[in-house]
Amino acid sequence: MSKRPFFHKARPKTVKPKPAAHPGLPARRRACDLVEAVLLRRRPLDEALELPTELDGLDRALARKIAATTLRRLGTIDRLLGERLAKGLPEGLPRLETVLRTAACQILFLDVPDYAAVDSAVRMVENDRKAKGFSGLANAVLRGLARDREEALASLDPLDDLASWLRDRWTAVYGAEATSAIAAIITAEPPLDLTVSSDPAGWADRLGGFVTPTGSVRLKAEGAIPDLTGYTDGAWWVQDAAAALPARLLGDIAGLAVADLCAAPGGKTAQLARAGARVTAIDRSPRRLERLMENMTRLKLDVTVRTIDALDLEGQFDAILIDAPCSATGTLRGHPDVMHLKSAADVEGLARLQARLLDRLAVLLKPGGRAVYCTCSLEPEEGEAQITALLAREPRLALDPIRPDELPGIAPFVTAAGHLRTLPSHWPDPDPARAGLDGFFAARLVFRGP
């Protein structure tokens, strides 16, 4: 009998390959982080999107789309989940709630396979130390929602997605019908509007879009903006069609000294400079002004930039544009986090700041100088009421009424008082990619002198 060798060749081990990362799971996890940044940590979505991530461009886009749509349709999502959770959700499990919300959003409103949304959600619940015991619940609720999707979609009411504080205010100001129309349009992802340096029709043709009645170029929001033709060359900049109107209301400003207060990120600054003005862009945020200066460099525009609070600005100008800090309730379609972060109390506080900015006009304008005051808010306290109060306390300023025929396409937006007021529901169209614009208010003033 032969001896067994002291050293023998070991049997090779069977090495199981590591399972590949579940496709789409990192993007969905990122979407949950973004939603929680807004709803739990009270952080604007744009700021949360700037947090570092290792996701590639496609996954970043998916995460953003899931998060923004969840915030946009949160009222409907919570109602439909509530109908399927007889006992409600357990206390102290915020991640479970966020996972259910974002998965329900995908099932109801996004073009993703149901199994991908459900499976990713279950995996995220299983990976949460506190919530893993509820993975079966998540699976059952989401599969049931997917099964009943058509019935659920048939029950939709856009007003469910409008924060109650806004629904009540807008119904009182604009009426129930207009409020319903606004609620309906802001449930859809907004189009991409561009302000072009020249030849809007030509750029619309090159980019596959169309020219709006007011001269902006509108595209369906797809892909990365820097990849679009003309971006690197500075031929255009992103600016909602409504936001592109106030600077144009200053008229011929070629060669004039113009102050752009609260200027960042610089869309209106670019308009003023393109019109030939000697622009001083004012903002108190160095970080935001960095972005403005990057934009001016890309657009090859020369402006003076000052990091200073507009309330501390000195000097005299031929014209002033005040794009005042506001509640931004006219921008909910592109910034759905606003209705979850702001409240009626914020409107009151911002209105006080706006009044202080308006009072600076009598100090900063030369005699005969003109100003445009604007906000991307639908709240009268930040618009019409501000101008009424200003004119009552400052007799040296007068309203210079906006005329319906002075700019192409603005006639539907000019009020009897001579203000400009756009609503998100203006420009209705069966195709959401063609419809609507931000809600804006603008008024033009002239300084009659000492």
Mean pLDDT of 341-358: 96
Predicted local confidence at residue 169, as pLDDT: 96
For residue 9, pLDDT over 70 is answered with: no
Say yes or no: 106 and 230 in one domain: no
Say yes or no: 144 and 196 in one domain: no
Q: Which two tokens stand for residue 143?
A: 């599969």
**Distance separating alpha carbons of residues 371 and 358, to the nearest angstrom:** 10
Q: Can you point out the beta strands (E) in 210-303?
A: 210-211, 217-219, 236-238, 257-261, 278-283
Q: What is the CATH number of the domain that holds 405?
A: 3.40.50.150
Say yes or no: 215 and 151 in one domain: no
Say yes or no: 145 and 253 in one domain: no
Predicted local confidence at residue 92, as pLDDT: 87
Contact call for residues 359 and 370 (beta carbons, < 8 A): no
Say yes or no: 144 and 197 in one domain: no
- Omega into 265 within 30° of 0, i.e. cis? yes
Task: Say which range, 50-59, 99-108, 159-168, 289-298, has the weakest mean pLDDT.
Answer: 50-59
Predicted local confidence at residue 88, as pLDDT: 82
Predicted local confidence at residue 428, as pLDDT: 94
Closest listed residue to residue 348, CA positions, set 377, 371, 374, 323: 377
For residue 17, pLDDT over 70 is answered with: no
Say yes or no: 256 and 352 in one domain: yes
Mean pLDDT of 417-435: 95
Mean pLDDT of 407-429: 97
For residue 358, pLDDT over 80 is answered with: yes
368 lies in a domain?
A: yes
Phi, psi of 368 (to 5 degrees): 85, -5
164 lies in a domain?
A: no
Active-site residue list:
376
Domains in the chain: how many in total?
2
∠ Cα 188 190 195 (to 5°):
165
For residue 208, pLDDT over 60 is answered with: yes
Confidence of residue 302 (pLDDT cuts 50, 70, 90): very high
**Distance separating alpha carbons of residues 374 and 445, to the nearest angstrom:** 11
For residue 5, pLDDT over 80 is answered with: no
Provide the b/e sequence for 390-413 (b: ≥16 CB within 10 Å).
beeeeeebebbebeeeebeebeeb
Sequence-ordered list of residues with C-beta below 8 angstroms from that of 327, at least 6 positions apart, any chain: 338, 342, 346, 347, 350, 377, 379, 382
From 108, 130, 156, give the residue that closes a domain.
156
For residue 424, pLDDT over 80 is answered with: yes
Mean pLDDT of 264-277: 96
7 lies in a domain?
A: no
For residue 90, pLDDT over 90 is answered with: no
Q: Structural domain of residue 381, as residue ranges?
A: 192-447
Q: What is the CATH number of the domain that holds 70?
A: 1.10.940.10
Task: Say which range, 69-73, 225-229, 258-262, has the weakest mean pLDDT.
Answer: 225-229
Mean pLDDT of 135-158: 94
For residue 11, pLDDT over 70 is answered with: no
Say yes or no: 142 and 208 in one domain: no
Say yes or no: 114 and 206 in one domain: no
From 138, 156, 174, give the residue that closes a domain.
156
Confidence of residue 27 (pLDDT cuts 50, 70, 90): very high
3 lies in a domain?
A: no
How many residues can be counted in the chain? 450
Say yes or no: 137 and 214 in one domain: no
Mean pLDDT of 353-380: 97
For residue 16, pLDDT over 80 is answered with: no
Predicted local confidence at residue 18, as pLDDT: 38
Say yes or no: 129 and 200 in one domain: no
Say yes or no: 137 and 207 in one domain: no
Mean pLDDT of 253-279: 97
Say yes or no: 313 and 443 in one domain: yes
Task: Say which range, 89-93, 135-139, 147-151, 318-322, has the weakest mean pLDDT.
Answer: 89-93
17 lies in a domain?
A: no
169 lies in a domain?
A: no
